[in-house]
Amino acid sequence: MTHAVDRPQGALSASARAADLLARMTLREKIGQMTQAEKNSVTPDEVRRFGLGSVLSGGGGNPEPNTPAAWRAMVLGFREAALESRLGVPLLYGVDAVHGHNNVVGATVFPHNVGLGAIGDADLVRRIGRATAVEVAATGVRWTFAPAVSVPLDVRWGRTYEGYGQDPDLVGRLAAAYVEGLRGADWATPDAVLPSVKHFVADGGAVHGTSTRWDRAAVKSLADDPTLANAHVDEGFVELLDRGAWTIDQGDVAVDERTLRDVFLAPYLPALAAGALNVMVSYGSWHGLRMHAHRYLITDVLKGELGFEGFVVTDWAAIDQIEPDFDVCVERSINAGIDMVMVPFDHQRFMDALEAAVERGAVAEARIDDAVHRILTTKARLGLFDAVGDPEREPALDAVGHPDHRRIAHEAARRSPVLLQNRGDALPLPPTLPALLVAGTAADDVGLQCGGWTISWMGAAGPITPGTTLLQGLQRLRPDAEITFEPDGHGTARAPVGIVAVAEAPYAEGMGDRNDLDLAAADLALIERVRARVDALVLVVYSGRPVVLGDAVRHADAIVAAWLPGSEGAAIAEPLVGVSAFEATLRYRWPAASADLPLHPFGTDPSAGPAALWDLGHGLRTHVERSST
C-alpha cells in the first residue's frame, strides 16, 4: 500500500527557513528542540536556558486560578521565555484538548468522540474542530493532542470513548474533518491549532490482560509514582486495579500485518491527506515490540511509504517503557524515528542522554538534524516565526465558552443519543404529560455527563465547569408538567413516566480499563425502585462505551445511549420530548453480556461468534412532536 501526501504550497519556504536556522544551531540547541517538558516540572527560565522546543500541560496541568486569563498568562510566560533564548526559536505549547478546550473551566465541552461517531456528520466534526481551535488559540496554545484515530476492538478499554467507532472508514473521515477544522483557512493563521493524530498505530487493538503498565504486586509503591501524583489520583486507584484498570491500555497488539493496515493504519491516510503535521506514537506494542522503538512502522511505513513530512512525538514518558536502561530507551526511540520526546518530569536527563548517545556514535547527528528540521518546519508552517505569531493577533479571551460554540455543542449533544429500545412508543414523551419522575444523580450532574479529560485527567462528578443538564432541559421543555427529581430514587411519588439516568464514573486511559462492563448493582436497584412507581420507564445511560445492561433491558420501556454529551447536557431532553428526532446509530457492537467481549466486526464472521444485543447501525427513529417546539 502506498500513499503520497501532496506538498502544501508554502512548505518549501518553511523548509528553507528551518534549514537556515538548523545550520546555526549547536548540538545542544538541536536536542532542546526535540524536548517537551510538562509545565509543572519546568520553569520559563529553563525554557530560555535550554532552548526547549515545547512545553505541555498534562491532564490536570492547570494554572491557579483555572481561568482563561490565567491560562493565557501561563502559556505566554513560557512562549516569551523561548524567544529570549540565543536563537529565539518559538515555543510550541501543547494540551489535551480532546473534546473542546476541556482543561479550562468555562470552556465549551463537546461530546466525546464516541457520540460524534454515532452521528457520523463530518461537517459537524469540522465545525467542532474550528470552535475548539479558536478557544485553544485564545489561551495562547497552538497544539492539541487530538484526534484519536483508534478503532477500539475491546470496549472494556478505557479509551474507547476517544474513538469514533469500529469502522475504519468512518474514523478516517471524521478524523480528517477534525484536522481540517483545527486548521481553518491556513496553518499560519493565529487561530489554527496543530492536531496530533494518535496513537500510531493500533492502540485500539491491544489484548485484554497484556498491559504491563503497573505491577499489581507492588501496588503500595504507586503513591510515589509521579504520573499519579501529577494527576492527583487518590487511594481509589487500588480499587480500580481490582476492577481491571490497566489490563488493556498500553498492551500488546497481536494482529497480522494485513489487519494492522486494513483496520488500524487505514484511518491515518485521510487524516494525513487533510494536512496533519504531527503524529503521536502509541504506548502499545505489536507482537511484543514497543511502538516507540518500531523503526519499521515509524520510519519505513509512516515517513517512507506514507510520505509523512511532519514530526513524530512520543506519548507521556512513553520511551521509559522500551527498556529498563533509560539511555537505551533514548537511543532506540530516536533511531526508530521519534522526533520530539515528551519527558514530563526530567527534561535535562533526556537531553544529557541524547547528547551522550550522539557523541558516542549511537545516534547519528543526521538523525538529529532530520528530527529538528521537521520540528522547525512545522513551527514555520504554523506562522510562529512571523507576525501572525504575535499574541495580540490571536483570538480574544471571550472566545472561550463563546455562545456560538455552545450552540454547536448543544447541536452535537442533541443529535448524538442512540435510541436502543422503545417498547410501546414510550418516546417521545407525550406533550400533555401531567407529571414526570426523574431519578439518578446523573440527570443533574455536569461532571458525570462530561466524563474523563474534563478539567482534570480523570474528570469528576459535580459542577466542575459551567454547563446544563438533562433535568434542566426537561424543566425548560415541559414547564407545565409536575417534575419530581429524586437523585437516589427513594421517594414515594408516582408518575405516568419515569426517567432514570445512570452513568459510568468518569475515567481516562488505562484507569478506565475494566474486567467487565456490567451495570452497577446500585444502578439496577435504582431502576427497580423507580419501575415500581411509574407506568413507563425511560433509561438514559451516560457512558463512554456500550455497557452490559442486564435486567435493565427488561425493566425499561425505552433505553437511550446518551454517551458523554459534554457541557450542554440539556440538549438530551430534546429528542426525549420530541422537539427533535433520534437520528444517531451504533458504531460499536453492543454486548448482551461481559462474557461476550471483545465483540467487534473484524477477523471472524459476526454470526459465528456471540450475538450482539444491538449491532452496528442499530438506532430507532422517532417522530417530531411539532407541538413541543
**Catalytic sites, residue numbers:** 315, 509
DSSP 8-state secondary structure symbol assigned to residue 352: H
Q: Please report the DSSP string for 288-327 in residue order.
A: TEEGGG-HIIIIIIIIIIS---SEEE--TTGGGGT-SSHH
Cell for 286? Answer: 505489536
H or E segment at 234? none
CA dihedral 475→524→562→433, nearest 10 degrees, is -30
- Alpha-carbon span 98 to 202, nearest angstrom: 19
Q: Which candidate, 519, 546, 605, places its Cα nearest to that of 154?
A: 546
Residue with the three cell numbers 549547536: 26
Q: How far does the chain reach from its first CA to its final CA, in angstroms?
A: 51
Output b/e per residue, 517-528; b: 16+ Cβ within 10 A. bebeeebbebbe
Cell for 271? Answer: 487524516
| Overall size of the chain counted in residues | 629
Cell for 69? Answer: 486569563
Edge-to-edge strands of the sheet including 252-253? 252-253, 285-286, 289-290
Contacts of 544 (CB under 8 A, 6+ apart): 112, 114, 158, 160, 161, 451, 452, 504, 507, 512, 563, 564
